[in-house]
Amino acid sequence: MEPEEGARQQIELYRRMSGEEKLGITFSLWEMTLSLLRVSERAMHPELDSEAIERRVRKRIASIIP
């Protein structure tokens, strides 16, 4: 399958989903994003405790969300 066809099929699947299903996907992606940010911060700053990591994650999010 060509990438364009895959994209068209994915769009069609999203169109058939309920709002609840789409929102569920959104929340799952948000949780995955937070996990990746935490892992990234922990790798860059292994000396920090969990609270400091969370502060850094919040700061990174704030810098990209107006």
Cα–Cα distance, 35 to 37 (Å, whole number): 5
Q: Which of 28, 58, 56, 60 is nearest to 42 (CA)?
A: 56
Q: What is the model's pLDDT at position 18?
A: 97
> pLDDT in tens for each of the 66 residues of the chain?
899 999 999 999 999 999 999 999 999 999 999 999 999 999 999 999 999 999 999 999 999 987
Q: What is the pTM of this model?
A: 0.76
Where exactly are the structural domains of the chain?
18-64
Q: Which residues lie closer than 8 Å to 9 by C-beta, 6 or more apart?
A: none
Look at residue 16 in the predicted model and tell me its pLDDT: 97
